[in-house]
Amino acid sequence: MSLAPQFEGGNFQRGAGGVHIARRSTTRRNGRWHELTVWWREIDKVLLTIVGLLMMAGVIGVAAGSAASAHRLSTAEKTLSDLHFFWMHLTWLVMGIATMFAASLLPRDSARRLSILLAAGMFVLLVAVPFVGSEINGARRWIRLGASFQPSEFYKPAFTVMLAWILSWRVRDPQLPVMVLSGAVLAVSVGLLMLQPDFGTAMLLCGVWFVLVVTVGLPLHRVGWAMGGIVALIVGAYFFYDNARRRIDDFLGGTEAYSQVDLANKTLTNGGWFGRGLWMGERKKALPEAHTDYILSVIGEEFGLIAVAGIALLFCALVVRVLWRLSGEDDLFTLLAGTGLATLLGGQAFINMAVNLQLFPSKGMTLPLISYGGSSMIALCLTVGLLLAVTRRNPYLTRDGLPKGPRR
Amino acid sequence: MASIPLGTAQGLTGPANRHRARQASPQASHASPGRRADLRASTLTMARKRVALIAFGFALATAVLVLRVAMMGVFGGTGGFTPAGDALLPDRGMIVDRNGVPLARDFKSYALWFNPKAMEGGEPLTRPAGEVAARLVDIFPDMDEADLERRLASGKGQYLRRRILPEEANRVFEIGEPALSPPAEPSRYYPEGNLAAHVLGYVGADGKGHVGMEEVFNTSLTDPSTRGTEQVLAIDSRVQAALEDELLRGMGLAQAKGAGGIVLDVDTGEVVALASLPSFDPNHIDQKGMELMFNRVTNQVYELGSTFKPLAVAAAIDAGVVTNLAKTYPAGKPLRVGRFSIRDSHTIGQNINVPEILIHSSNIGTAQIADELGSVRMKRTMERLGFNERPYIELPARGFPIWRSGEWPRLTTMTVSYGHGIAVTPLHLASAYAAMVNGGIWRPATLKKLSPDEVPEGRRVFKESTSARMRQLLRLIVTDGTGRKADAPGFRLGGKTGSAEKPGDGGYRRTSLVTTFASAFPMDNPRYVVITMYDEPKGTAATSYQRTAAWNAAAAVGRIVPRIGPMLGIYPDENREIDLSDVRPLLEKGGAH
């Protein structure tokens, strides 16, 4: 059953191209349609469902947090309506879904090429940011091009795919020093991010690199060394890097009466197990960044700790679903790119949740797919789109006869 | 598509497999195809294992997060906002009396705290320590300048002075040293000083309430959700003040070791005043204060002596044993029970009737009535009056009575009838007297103000008719008997004296007494029970060299009632009196005076 449309819509027509105009127009429409059916057949629908659920949680969460942030950010000249951020979020979300859809339509090679191009472009912008960027909250991360956006947001997924590509050379030629090469790319990227400074993203990139390098087969004793290196990096950051020191100090030292972390914690626990109900939260009004960094706390207050645990489990499901499927993959680039992108999403989500649950010092990192968007929403949707693209798989194929992985 | 199909299915797949096909093509690599395939296989095998490992890592992280959420749900979650914000909420709730007069409240007071970190990393002080010390001594002349300088130079955060006045705090501010900050600290303040100290208790350095209602209410006084509402006591601070004042005066007159007193609402069980003297100052707890915290009224049990006689007579009337008050009992010589003999302080008469037994407080007569009643009924009445358990009140310190369990021997029944062989707290006696005069209903005593619908139903101990008869007899004791000194004109008071020897080594000590006067007023419609008690009063010039209850405890009631009556809505009225026409003739005829 799968053979017929594939044959008809693909090579055959192309080979017999230019028969006559009327025919061609219908086939072209058929081509589009066909591409979509193939997409639908190959896409990981479970992953798509999880992403959809997270986005829905995000819409509700932003609706809950919107009023608090709108009041906080209203000025004498300009009053923001209660649902300002909600409507903005919906707008960004629609654009994000479009981006995600477009990216997921890409064939794997195109996805890779696009990512590498994007990485190169964003790299240039990252170099430029310290000079032309605008400063917010003591960090120079933003570039104004019409709307302002953070190049680092788009650099993250592009960098990940690029890294996967570099590391996948290993199977072509074991002589290539892929570790050193990828390490160098990472070092330069982290250096640029530290200039901004953006400690959180730098950490995230290190994490992705580490996971990919482990995946591609770094001996475990070297993994141990790398762990030591990370600890050394954090200690180093503490001593030589003001922004990081302040945040770590805030976290470790007795939190001041009205520190953000403390406020977030009070908000999170105020709802008890089942929450106070939508728009019934009180503590959120005192919370800065209620719609972005601390949206999980707002969800906790209004929908309860059960909802918070549910979101943690959803993110876990997302990552485990992707990795489980990939553990049966026999193409190294696909495996690495998928693992890297999943780690990127999962890592950011887990760091944000850990911050909200007071397990981690404040990072200034949003909760992917849930926090209020803007350009970062588009970047995250692009990440998901790329993830969907590289994990596309013909369901009627069995994998190679390599060590048994799960069949689907 | 340029690639060469490697298998039948491969050419038919979508984008997923194109890359693989390309990669497998020979163009990109120098290694031999066989080695490359091996490398690919081994790398992939490794990669798949590692991916599973990473998935496991994420699952572990999720477990940690979910566990943390569960912990927050179980242990965390203290707080929502109160409408006015946390700032306006007192650190500890207020305690007020029944009319809303504050008895215990929060009070912010300044402390002189040296905070060397105020300059955030700089030197603690902007000027030399010696100069700052000198400026401080200007404000507090009693402080030692050299010591102060040493402490400031040490750079350690510490209290320089625990409590300072607001104007002193202002002058400290004027020195202009950020490290010298007088923080306002919460402290507990008792505006009325010693008043009702045993009822209130105090707040210790640990922030917890001790001894009195501070301990009882500790949870609701500190819980953010409830500490905004004040706790209302049944105490009336005016009545309390009058009671303490007169008890203290009587204590001085009779040179007694201590005194106790209670004013109890007969119909509700509310304790309107409760005093144990000497008392302590809850604002300033020291060693001496700690020694005085024992509550004589609720915690100490006494053999209260003759004040038990009306209870025994009431039990006999209630049981139908005494149907005629004119019935006489022989009282000319000591009553022998086995080897024990019961005596009176003096011979009252050869044959005396029931009112005479009470007004002259005859042990011999009461013992015979109790003997007729029998031990079973006697014991049951005493149980119904709550004498076999700790008194009912909120206070944490409540004494357990000395109570003979099991079947009472004949002698015990007889001694209990005049208040020996049984020891209870004065509070027990107050509740029992309330039941005796209010129509026969016993109710637990309480220190909480009750609204009319909160009044407990209580339990019936005496018949209404018994109660009416007892009101006459109690009034008679005051008009014609040992309680005459308590007869405040117009207040129709009735009551009974009791002077019991304190038990000592090997028997009773004739020299040390516990004197009690148990009373209620007005007898035509009783509203309040008043009990006063003195511990070891002496015979002084002021008490006509007498030590018995009539001269100290009864006299105190005689002074207290005119003061507290109007506060409680009972005004003296010389034209009103309980009808005594059917009992008074019994006294005139008896001629036992």
- Tell me: pLDDT of B84 over 70: no
Which range is least confidently modeled, A208-222, A256-270, B227-241, B380-394?
Answer: A256-270
Name the minimum distance, in Å, from the CA of B8 to any CA of chain A: 11
- Minimal-distance CA residue of chain B relative to A276: B80
Cβ of B80 and A350 within 8 Å?
Answer: no
- Minimal-distance CA residue of chain B relative to A216: B47
Please count the residue pairs, one from chain A and one from chain B, whose beta carbons lie less than 8 angstroms apart.
174
Cα–Cα distance for residue pair B559/B64, rounded to 1 Å = 73
Cα–Cα distance for residue pair A375/B209, rounded to 1 Å = 57
What average pLDDT does range B525-531 have in this prediction?
A: 96
Instruction: Residue A326: list chain B partners with CB under 8 A.
Output: 51
Query: What length does chain B have?
Result: 593
Cβ of A283 and B45 within 8 Å?
Answer: no
pLDDT of residue A385: 95
Instruction: Residue B31: list chain A partners with CB under 8 A.
Output: 172-174
Q: Which of A67-76, A131-140, B125-134 reaches the highest mean pLDDT? A: B125-134
- Minimal-distance CA residue of chain A relative to B25: A172
Helix or strand run (H / E) with residue B502: strand B494-504
% of chain B surpassing 70 pLDDT: 91
Cα–Cα distance for residue pair A67/A85, rounded to 1 Å = 8
Using only C-alpha atoms, chain A has a radius of gyration, in whole angstroms, of: 23
Sign of torsion over alpha carbons B357, B358, B364, B365 = positive
Cα–Cα distance for residue pair B310/B359, rounded to 1 Å = 10
What does B431-470 look like in DSSP terms, one character per residue? HHHHHHHTTSEE---BSB---GGGS---EE-S-HHHHHHH
Q: What is the ipTM of this complex?
A: 0.84
Q: Does A326 touch chain B (CB under 8 A)?
A: yes
Specify the 3-state DSSP secondary structure of B184: strand
Cβ of B19 and A394 within 8 Å?
Answer: no
pLDDT band of residue B496 (cuts 50, 70, 90) is very high
Cα–Cα distance for residue pair B177/B180, rounded to 1 Å = 5
Structure-model confidence comparison of residues A290 and A303, the more confident one: A303
What average pLDDT does range A217-228 have in this prediction?
A: 78
Which range is least confidently modeled, A29-38, A139-148, B545-554?
Answer: A139-148
Name the minimum distance, in Å, from the CA of B95 to any CA of chain A: 29
Cα–Cα distance for residue pair A292/A111, rounded to 1 Å = 29
State residue A109 phi and psi, 5-degree precision: -65, -45
Which range is least confidently modeled, A10-19, B160-169, B498-507?
Answer: A10-19
- Tell me: pLDDT of A377 over 70: yes
Instruction: Residue B80: list chain A partners with CB under 8 A.
Output: 270, 282-283
pLDDT of residue B85: 52
Structure-model confidence comparison of residues A256 and A76, the more confident one: A76
Q: Which of A159-173, A381-395, B232-246, B282-296 reaches the highest mean pLDDT? A: B232-246
Cα–Cα distance for residue pair A250/A175, rounded to 1 Å = 47
Tokens 């069980």 belong to B269
pLDDT of residue A395: 76
Name the minimum distance, in Å, from the CA of B66 to any CA of chain A: 5
Tokens of B83: 């409408």
Specify the 3-state DSSP secondary structure of A373: coil
Instruction: Residue B16: list chain A partners with CB under 8 A.
Output: 42, 108, 334, 392-394, 397
Name the minimum distance, in Å, from the CA of B23 to any CA of chain A: 8
Closest by CA to A334, choosing from B22, B57, B347, B453, is B22
* Model confidence pLDDT, tens digit, residues A237-287: 777 777 777 766 666 654 444 567 777 878 888 888 888 888 888 888 878
- Tell me: pLDDT of A108 over 70: yes
Instruction: Residue A354: list chain B partners with CB under 8 A.
Output: 65
- Tell me: pLDDT of A25 over 60: no
pLDDT of residue B38: 80
Half-sphere exposure of A38 (CA within 13 A, CB side): 26
Please give the mean pLDDT across all residues of chain B.
86
Tokens of A157: 């997924």
- Tell me: pLDDT of B1 over 60: no
The residues of B annotated as belonging to the active site are 306
What average pLDDT does range B2-21 have in this prediction?
A: 40
pLDDT of residue B115: 84
% of chain A surpassing 90 pLDDT: 34
Residue B442's identity, in one-letter code, is: W
Closest by CA to B496, choosing from B574, B578, B429, B444, is B429
Instruction: Residue B78: list chain A partners with CB under 8 A.
Output: 269
What does A76-127 look like in DSSP terms, one character per residue? SS-PPPTTHHHHHHHHHHHHHHHHHHHHHHS-HHHHHHHHHHHHHHHHHHHH
- Tell me: pLDDT of B273 over 90: yes
pLDDT band of residue B200 (cuts 50, 70, 90) is very high
- Tell me: pLDDT of A374 over 90: no
State residue A145 phi and psi, 5-degree precision: -130, 90
What average pLDDT does range B460-484 have in this prediction?
A: 94
What is the four-CA torsion angle of A231, A232, A235, A237, rounded to 10 degrees? -110
Nearest residue, CB atoms, B19 vs list A211, A327, A331: A331
Cα–Cα distance for residue pair A295/A66, rounded to 1 Å = 10
Name the minimum distance, in Å, from the CA of A343 to any CA of chain B: 9
Q: Does A107 touch chain B (CB under 8 A)?
A: yes
- Minimal-distance CA residue of chain B relative to A320: B55
Contacts with B, A 360-389, CB within 8 Å: 389
pLDDT of residue A146: 64
Name the minimum distance, in Å, from the CA of B154 to any CA of chain A: 24
* Model confidence pLDDT, tens digit, residues B505-516: 767 777 788 999
Which range is least confidently modeled, A200-204, B71-75, B268-272, B524-528?
Answer: B71-75
Instruction: Residue A350: list chain B partners with CB under 8 A.
Output: 58, 61-62, 65
* Model confidence pLDDT, tens digit, residues B89-144: 778 889 999 999 999 998 888 888 888 877 766 778 888 888 889 999 999 999 89
pLDDT of residue B521: 93
Strand partners of residue B161: B112
> Distance between alpha carbon B157 and the CA centroid of its chain, in Å?
38
Sign of torsion over alpha carbons B299, B303, B304, B310 = positive
pLDDT of residue B24: 43
What average pLDDT does range B263-271 have in this prediction?
A: 95
Q: Does A339 touch chain B (CB under 8 A)?
A: yes
Cβ of A335 and B36 within 8 Å?
Answer: no
Contacts with B, A 200-259, CB within 8 Å: 211, 214-217
Which range is least confidently modeled, A311-320, B87-96, B162-171?
Answer: B87-96
Helix or strand run (H / E) with residue B520: strand B507-521
Tokens of A66: 């919107």
pLDDT of residue B162: 80
- Tell me: pLDDT of A3 over 80: no
**Burial track A39-77 (b if 16+ CB lie within 10 A, e otherwise):** beebbbeebeebbebbbebbebbbbbbbbbbbeeeeeee
Instruction: Residue A310: list chain B partners with CB under 8 A.
Output: none
pLDDT of residue B357: 93
Interface with A, mutate which of B32, B62, B74 (most A CBs under 10 A): B62
Nearest residue, CB atoms, B19 vs list A109, A171, A397: A109
State residue B521 phi and psi, 5-degree precision: -155, 160
Tokens of A238: 């503490």
pLDDT of residue B9: 38
Cβ of B40 and A312 within 8 Å?
Answer: no
Q: Does A160 touch chain B (CB under 8 A)?
A: no
Nearest residue, CB atoms, B52 vs list A282, A308, A327: A327
- Tell me: pLDDT of B351 over 80: yes
pLDDT of residue A138: 65
What average pLDDT does range B242-256 have in this prediction?
A: 94
The count of other CB atoms within 10 Å of the CB of residue A85 is 26
pLDDT of residue B318: 94
Using only C-alpha atoms, chain B has a radius of gyration, in whole angstroms, of: 39
Please give the mean pLDDT across all residues of chain A.
82
pLDDT of residue B295: 92
Instruction: Residue B22: list chain A partners with CB under 8 A.
Output: 109
- Minimal-distance CA residue of chain B relative to A353: B65
What average pLDDT does range A366-389 have in this prediction?
A: 91
Structure-model confidence comparison of residues A4 and A385, the more confident one: A385
- Tell me: pLDDT of B59 over 50: yes
Contacts with B, A 52-81, CB within 8 Å: none
- Minimal-distance CA residue of chain A relative to B26: A172
Closest by CA to A317, choosing from B64, B49, B55, is B55
The residues, ordered by sequence, that sit 6+ positions from B414 with a Cβ below 8 Å of its Cβ are B335, B337, B342, B367, B370, B371
What average pLDDT does range B64-77 have in this prediction?
A: 83
pLDDT of residue B425: 94
Is the separation of the CB atoms in A338 and A387 below 8 Å? yes
